[in-house]
Amino acid sequence: MYTTLPLFYFLGLYFFLLNFPGLAESLHKRPLYLEDLEIARLGTATPDRTFQNIYSIIMNFLLAALFAGLAEYLILNDIREKPIVEAFGVIGGNLGLYYKIQTTLGKVMIWICHKYKLRKLHRLEEETQEIELPETIP
């Protein structure tokens, strides 16, 4: 019983991952960065930073909401009446949680913006392929 259950879990997951190889491949891809959201324009020196601006606006809103929630938590729990060690522990734990949430939300937002950027690039590529110049016959 102790060996068959883990064996069945292993075999089930192994065959599932064989059918969906993209799951394992996604763990070894290059991470996305904010600079990956730029779209280089032909004929101009400045890239299109639309998706970076969208990312910045949404992340600033989410981080302000998270920080307001953290401040509300500290006010409601009246941190001033606790011993100094406990107060530092509560503040440090909440800041650690705030940082983890901010990092996770940032990664998700960059991923979403990158998907929209790729969709926009694909649409622009299709539009340029549709415009064909007629060939002149000499």
pLDDT in tens, 77-109: 777 788 889 888 887 887 888 788 878 888 888
Same domain membership, residue 109 and residue 49: yes
Residues 47 and 21 in one domain: no
> Do 43 and 11 share a structural domain?
no
- How does residue 66 score in pLDDT terms, banded at 50, 70 and 90? confident
| One domain, residues 17 and 78 | no
- The crossing angle, in degrees rounded to 10, of helices 50-76 and 84-130 is 160
Domain assignment present for 136? no
Domain-located, residue 133: no
What confidence tens digit (pLDDT) does each residue in 107-131 have?
A: 888 888 888 888 988 888 887 776 6
48: left (phi over 0), alpha (psi -120 to 50) or beta: beta
**Is 88 within a domain?**
yes
On whether both 21 and 55 belong to a single domain, the answer is no
Count of positions (residues) in the chain: 138
Answer whether residue 135 is part of any domain.
no
Place of tokens 């990664």: 107
Q: How far is residue 16 from each of residues 3, 12, 23, 28, measured CA to CA in Å?
A: 20, 6, 10, 18
* Partners of residue 48 on adjacent β-strands: 39
- Identify the band that residue 26 occupies on the pLDDT scale cut at 50, 70 and 90: low
pTM for the model: 0.58
Q: Which residues contact 101 (CB under 8 A, 6 or more apart)?
A: 66
119 contact partners, CB below 8 Å, separation of at least 6: none
pLDDT at 1: 62
Instruction: Answer yes or no: do 48 and 93 share one domain.
Output: yes
As for how many domains the chain has, the answer is: 2
For residues 43-65, average pLDDT = 79
Taking phi over 0 as left and psi of -120 to 50 as alpha, with beta for the rest, 43 belongs to left
In terms of domains, do 21 and 42 share one? no
Which structural domain range is residue 53 located in? 31-128
Provide, rounded to the nearest whole percent, the portion of the chain with pLDDT above 90: 0
Q: Tell me if 116 is assigned to some domain.
A: yes
